[in-house]
Amino acid sequence: MENDAEVPQTDTRLELESKRGMLAAIIDSTDDTIISKTTQGIITSWNPAAKRMFGYTEEEAIGQHISLIIPEDRMGEETYIIGQILQGQKVDHFETLRRAKNGDLVPISLTVSPIKDRSGRIIGASKIARDISVQRIAVEKQGVLAAIIDTSDDTILSKTLEGIITSWNKAAVKMFGYTEAEAIGKHISLIIPPDRLDEESYIIGEVSKGNKVDHFQTFRRAKNGNLIPISLSVSPITDESGKVIGASKIARDISAEQSAQQETAELYKQLQALNAKKDEFIGLASHELKTPLTSVNGYLQILGQRITDEKNKVFVQKAQQQLSKLSTLVDDLLDVSKIEAGKLNFRDEVFNICEVISDAIDLISHANGNYQITFETSTPEFTIRGDAHRIEQVLINLLTNAIRYSPGSNRIEVYLFAEAENVKVGVKDFGLGIASEKLNHIFSRYYRVDDSSANVSGLGIGLYLCYEIVTRHRGRIWAESELKAGSTFWFILPIA
């Protein structure tokens, strides 16, 4: 200080000059916009950064009122700022918007300081403006992300590669019971059950390599000691250079899902047990029915032979017909229980399927005299390997259905032709038809289409038996149908 006082007058001026020069150079080269103005708001200096920010040249700006760059709805701010300046106050980090020459609004942070003359009188203000658009977007983005994380129902937390918890959202507080203050800074083992600690090294290993660990189902321990089943997704957090610096974890409580799964599995088990019981009952009942049926049939035959009166003979015949229907039903039920028990056996013989089809048509035509059943085949002989009796059963079922579900028609067409290594058989009717969404179900056990079967008695097992018989012969069965136009049931069997 002393020395300073002794510096000659000329040197001080020189120094002052060079100081001024240096300041001017700094102002000229800085990236911050620096403007000065009088207390009346007239711009008195305008550096190159101000030109870059607002688009006006020094010549265009100097001498103009500062309102040149103030949006109309923000004019009031100027009065406030000048008011502060006139009181000798600095206005710091005032975030606002200013308008550039091209009309764009520029978000800025303003610092305005009073300029005083030698006597200390305030003669103007210097403004330093910093463009905060990037910063603002980043802050806005961060705000949005923070809000998403905070309101998420999923537990979201982050940790360093050393396992230190660095963030902990509200859902994490709810799930684990630790507050943010209790969790942040702690090691993640806070919530890992001791017998699962090695999972952490696996997860960190993957994340360090830049890999994501997805839907990792595990357990974590809450503050109260409860184990929570969760599904974890862990992703690497990278810095600007792409280096992995931590991990973000999203954890979803899957206890509800798990108990629902367990419940479903339990219900399924119960259902299977009940189903098995029902099958067992059907098997037993049909077996029990079979014996009296056979003896009633025997007695009816004896009665038929003994009765001489023609009228009474007809009654016995009718009783026999009904009994035969009942026998078929019981036989079908017995077949179903045999299938379920894996005990439906097939004969292995080579036979001509044309004959089997003709026999089945004869049988059905005989019982349904008013029906016209045509048979079209490309050749009178096709040799098949399997159980002729069972294949006949398939045809009888299909023909019977074709009659039962065609109330307004008396025509059935049967086709047989070769297709590749197979024979293809079709039974076509012109009856009720089946809705397309039901077609997939008709071969299921006990399934009946509500609309068409409403007036037809049945148990919904005929097509199921057809399906079992055909597939056990290494064949395939399906149906094509159009409502109110009719259906064609097709099956293919390999040629022997």
Looking at 36, 235, 286, 401, which residue binds ligand ADP (CB under 6 A)?
401
As measured in angstroms, the least distance from the Cβ of 462 to ligand ADP is: 3
Token reading at 30: 């800085």
As measured in angstroms, the least distance from the Cβ of 442 to ligand ADP is: 4
Looking at 36, 248, 393, 487, which residue binds ligand ADP (CB under 6 A)?
487
Does residue number 164 form part of the binding site for ligand ADP (CB under 6 A)? no
E strand map for 296-446: 349-352, 372-377, 383-386, 411-419, 422-429
Looking at 165, 463, 492, 493, which residue binds ligand ADP (CB under 6 A)?
463
Residue, CB closest to ligand ADP: 458
Q: Running DSSP on this structure, what letter comes out for residue 230?
A: E
As measured in angstroms, the least distance from the Cβ of 483 to ligand ADP is: 9
As measured in angstroms, the least distance from the Cβ of 259 to ligand ADP is: 38
Residue 354 CB contacts under 8 Å (≥ 6 apart), including other chains: 377, 379, 380, 381, 382, 416
Beta bridge partners of 416: 377, 425
Closer to ligand ADP by CB, 94 or 430: give it: 430
CB atoms within 10 A of CB 325: 10
Using an 8 Å Cβ cutoff, are 365 and 324 in contact? no
Does residue number 395 form part of the binding site for ligand ADP (CB under 6 A)? no
For residues 285-299, one letter each, b for 16 or more C-beta atoms within 10 angstroms of the residue's C-beta and e for the rest, the string is ebeebeeebeeeeee
As measured in angstroms, the least distance from the Cβ of 332 to ligand ADP is: 8
Closer to ligand ADP by CB, 298 or 407: give it: 407
As measured in angstroms, the least distance from the Cβ of 427 to ligand ADP is: 8
Cα–Cα dist 351/448, whole Å: 33
In terms of phi and psi (left: phi > 0; alpha: psi -120 to 50; beta: otherwise), the region of 120 is left
As measured in angstroms, the least distance from the Cβ of 236 to ligand ADP is: 57
Closer to ligand ADP by CB, 61 or 432: give it: 432
- The rounded Cα 469 to chain-centroid distance in angstroms is 39
As measured in angstroms, the least distance from the Cβ of 393 to ligand ADP is: 12
Residue 242 CB contacts under 8 Å (≥ 6 apart), including other chains: none
Closer to ligand ADP by CB, 152 or 328: give it: 328
Phi, psi of 129 (to 5 degrees): -120, 135
Looking at 46, 168, 178, 405, which residue binds ligand ADP (CB under 6 A)?
405
Q: Which stretch binds ligand ADP (CB under 6 A): 4-12, 47-55, 269-277, 397-405?
A: 397-405
Looking at 45, 337, 422, 452, which residue binds ligand ADP (CB under 6 A)?
452
From residue 266, how far is each of 217, 269, 456 by CA, in Å? 21, 5, 37
Look-up of token digits 């992703």: 235
Cα–Cα dist 363/342, whole Å: 30
Q: Which stretch binds ligand ADP (CB under 6 A): 142-150, 224-232, 407-415, 458-466?
A: 458-466
Does residue number 464 form part of the binding site for ligand ADP (CB under 6 A)? yes
As measured in angstroms, the least distance from the Cβ of 268 to ligand ADP is: 25
For ligand ADP (CB under 6 A), the number of binding residues is 21
Looking at 107, 193, 426, 458, which residue binds ligand ADP (CB under 6 A)?
458
CB atoms within 10 A of CB 194: 7
Task: Give the three-class secondary structure for 394.
Answer: helix
DSSP result, 141-197: HHHHHHHHHHH-SSEEEEEETT-BEEEE-HHHHHHH---HHHHTTSBGGGGS-GGGH
Closer to ligand ADP by CB, 66 or 465: give it: 465
Looking at 66, 250, 402, 423, which residue binds ligand ADP (CB under 6 A)?
402
Looking at 56, 448, 475, 493, which residue binds ligand ADP (CB under 6 A)?
448
CA-nearest of 80, 104, 73 to 94 is 80
Contact map string, positions 426 to 445, toward ligand ADP, x by CB under 6 A: ---x-xx-x-------x---
Could you list the residues that contact ligand ADP (CB under 6 A)? 401-402, 405, 429, 431-432, 434, 442, 447-449, 452-453, 458-464, 487
